[in-house]
Structure 1
């Protein structure tokens, strides 16, 4: 890949200038008073700021840039598509070639029987769509009472209306008033707790169970052995839809197409986004089994009363098709398994650091470094370590209890070594400062 030079007009906003931009997931009382970290360009696994300083992207931006930054072929595919058909809605019988081609390609690779594909603009939108499909499915099947959703602790399912109700982290629900009532959360690693909750609610009232193959934003928790086989059996036994949220785990992040293949089960729906286009343009969707699609596709009078303006957006779909070409041509599924092993090998020794309670890695190109309760109680924060690492050229993701790592699938061993050595330096610097 070659570096792309970006020119800026003289009136380009600068890091030190006031801004009207409201940064979500951020305390604007702090952000508005300080300089901005303005990303000027990116190539491969690297970012450059306005000053020309280089930083390793240790998070794939936000779990999504699987093929790396600066892929010219994706930009060319977008340009070519926009010069022929930029956009057009796909309601009714309207369609476009990229949307049809992408749906065929995704459906052909999905571990879902007789797959159908709904397209959206992102993960949160897809979660809400999947939940509505589940409820409407049971309604047209004469079971309108089946409306309850069960999710897991640590599960992150976007922050749209239904997704906010489903999320397994209470800090994202505070301050919004009443949310969707018919939801509940069970421990992420307990089949016994899931079955007990199904029986408490009543199987006749439960529409679906949502789960990520590996919990991502909630701390990178891989499933215990046999967990998803047990989930699949429970859902079949009690007549509950099994919906997999693969927004983070799909398109190579776990070394295969959707992540859930690694655990040998066949869900009723798979939600996807992020890596489908490597974030080059916003895109998401839901793979729906033929059985769940049956009353909508083959029985009269059951239209899906749901949709989005940009569903099947031809330019976004063209970007995704070019992205999938790269994934397959460069066999980034196999490469991801190698990077997974490198990352696990490099990070494991950090478990002995005095600030670290646990390193979770080894299932996918994703990892968590969790701090000890004692370190957190002493006033040490993940934001401090994040800041130390960024000052030395590595961007990671801080969460309340530690740091998350999810580099692009094209990351090299040398870059991983740089990432981990910088992380160790950041941990040491913060530990030294608090012990002084």
Structure 2
């Protein structure tokens, strides 16, 4: 029986959904449909258990169908399903904002809610521009991103992002420029932070010299680039970016949609790598993926600037927001998610188990010559796969499909395979995943 027949969906129904970041033509010939999820496993429509090797989409560090989150959502939807996001509020948004500040570096204590990571990036960039106008420096409008960076799917996100496949189709975006990525020769198969590559931060000085700091609003980078293939910052690199931004009066934004709330074995990537930015974008793990939600954490000085220049107290200090900002059900899920992370000491667990995960993934170096690099930090790892001539994305796709057949979900993107197990993953599950991936690599070779 074909997969289409098993789904009980018609071809017309399949065709009606234009799927996100998916090869629609291939998928609809052989759909990979998930029926349920619990703990560390999905169940597909054939009843097969699939180990979740990416924590959903970097979202579900607590695993799936977490009872406390389910209960919080069920209770909230019976009590207050929606509350207007503008001019009125509800208690849980303020409780969640305070809870999020407990995870942020101390100066970042003002939280703006969004509906996704893409909206968080858009908010951060808009506020950065508006902040400089409020400070009397309205020429500071340009942004600097980084090659291989991912900052969401919006126009602002692809503008500052540095993944070519996400940019080339769409033409002109916001005026932005890009630092080089930090993967330099001699850092292949580094464990944790590479020792080489800090010098790539100096390119920021060249961009400032070219465009002048008086025209640059902010630099935005992921502390660790996730979708670009788990690119870990070199020792001293982020510190140098911070120093240059301070010297030239430029805001530093960390996109922590992936690295926030535990994945790095720390509360944030900022904490893990010892650098405090001016703004942090958040999403994914904030609700454990149960309900869409994003947030942006700002330094109080940025918030105060808008409050002090806002005019009459009934006027909008910032004309910005979303219908689903601080959605009550999302806030309930967020409170339950962050409480579970705290109560179960999961950040400490990730930190303690990270050396075990590191040892597991680096075994793949010997599995196949197709593996040209392995990178890791916390509970995240990426590996580069040797290209098929003219088709760098084909082999990772083939590997991921074979892993799905074997009962493992991993992410493929460009020429990489990416892994991010749930925070509560046991060593036996790590071994099973890596052994299956090693066998698959040998089969491909």
Is TM > 0.5 for Structure 1 vs Structure 2?
yes
SS in 2 for 1:109: coil
Give the total of aligned pairs: 417
SS in 1 for 2:423: coil
Residues 397-435 of structure 1, C-alpha deviations (whole Å, 9 max, x = no match): 11121211011111111111111001011111111xxxx
Q: How does 1:89-108 map to 2 (within 5 A)?
A: 89-92=84-87, 94-108=88-102
Equivalent of 2:201 in 191, 196, 202:
191
CA distance in 2, matches of 1:26, 1:73: 32
**Preserved contact between residue 112 and residue 268 of structure 1 (Cα < 8 Å):** no
**Preserved contact between residue 112 and residue 269 of structure 1 (Cα < 8 Å):** no
**Preserved contact between residue 148 and residue 181 of structure 2 (Cα < 8 Å):** yes
Q: How does 1:293-312 map to 2 (within 5 A)?
A: 293-301=303-311, 303-312=317-326
Instruction: Extract unaligned runs of 5+ from structure 2.
Output: 183-199
Match for residue 77 of structure 2? 82
RMSD: 1.9
Are 1:23 and 2:19 matched, yes or no?
yes
SS in 2 for 1:175: helix
Deviates more, 1:346-355 or 1:379-388: 379-388
Match for residue 297 of structure 2? 287
Residues 57-90 of structure 1, C-alpha deviations (whole Å, 9 max, x = no match): 0011111111100111101101111111111123
TM-score, normalisation: structure 2: 0.90
Say if 1:198 and 1:412 are closer, same or farther in 2 by CA, change over 3 A. Answer: same
Match for residue 403 of structure 2? 389
CA distance in 1, matches of 2:121, 2:20: 20
Match for residue 50 of structure 2? 55
Equivalent of 1:138 in 129, 132, 141:
132
Instruction: Extract unaligned runs of 5+ from structure 1.
Output: 1-10, 432-436
SS in 2 for 1:341: helix
Q: How does 1:12-411 map to 2 (within 5 A)?
A: 14=8, 18=12, 19=14, 20-32=16-28, 34-92=29-87, 94-113=88-107, 115-180=109-174, 182-189=175-182, 190-301=200-311, 303-352=317-366, 353-361=368-376, 363-373=377-387, 381-411=395-425
**Preserved contact between residue 112 and residue 288 of structure 1 (Cα < 8 Å):** no
Deviates more, 1:223-232 or 1:257-266: 257-266
CA distance in 2, matches of 1:380, 1:155: 21
**Preserved contact between residue 386 and residue 426 of structure 1 (Cα < 8 Å):** no
Offset, 1:256: 1.7
CA distance in 2, matches of 1:74, 1:323: 6
Say if 1:273 and 1:378 are closer, same or farther in 2 by CA, change over 3 A. Answer: closer
CA distance in 1, matches of 2:390, 2:353: 30
CA distance in 1, matches of 2:258, 2:70: 23
CA distance in 1, matches of 2:204, 2:270: 19
CA distance in 1, matches of 2:414, 2:161: 16
Offset, 1:15: 6.5
